[in-house]
Amino acid sequence: MAKHPRGRPKLQIAIVFSLLLLFILFMHPCKDCQDGFRAMTLGGLKLHQKKCQSFLKHEAATNERRKATAASKDVRRTKFKKRKERLDSAALGVRFLR
């Protein structure tokens, strides 16, 4: 009976370990989760984020900041328009002081 070739078990173990490490590193993490959830696919991550309370809180805070920024830009625009209207309506040579 012929001997079964053993190969190189240390090399095989190293290859398996490195592939496992790469697999773990390239999984998609939920950045807002305290328990460190990681999904294998982007679809799985999006499915998790629909239910994840910490992600939903983060999104709500982001939306509030966006609304505040948009509102402040609108206020600045209206102030600028009003000031421009005042200056345009003034007679030549007349200046408005604050």
pTM of the model: 0.45
Instruction: Estimate the crossing angle of helix 42-51 against helix 53-89, to 10 degrees.
Output: 80
Q: If you write DSSP's letter for every residue of 18-87 in order, what string do you get?
A: HHHHHHHHTSEE-TT-SS--EESSHHHHHHHHHH-HHHHHHHHHHHHHHHHHHHHHHHHHHHHHHHHHHH
Higher pLDDT residue, 96 or 53?
53
Q: What is the pLDDT of residues 3-31, one digit of tens each?
A: 656 667 788 888 888 888 777 777 778 88
Instruction: Kindly list the distances between the CA atom of residue 3 and the CA atoms of 7, 9, 10, in Å, as whole numbers in the listed order.
Output: 12, 16, 19
Residue 93 banded pLDDT, cuts 50, 70, 90: low
Residue 96, pLDDT > 60, answer no
pLDDT in tens, 36-81: 788 878 888 888 888 888 888 888 999 999 998 888 888 888 888 8
* pLDDT band (50, 70, 90) for residue 97: low
CA distance 66 to 53: 20
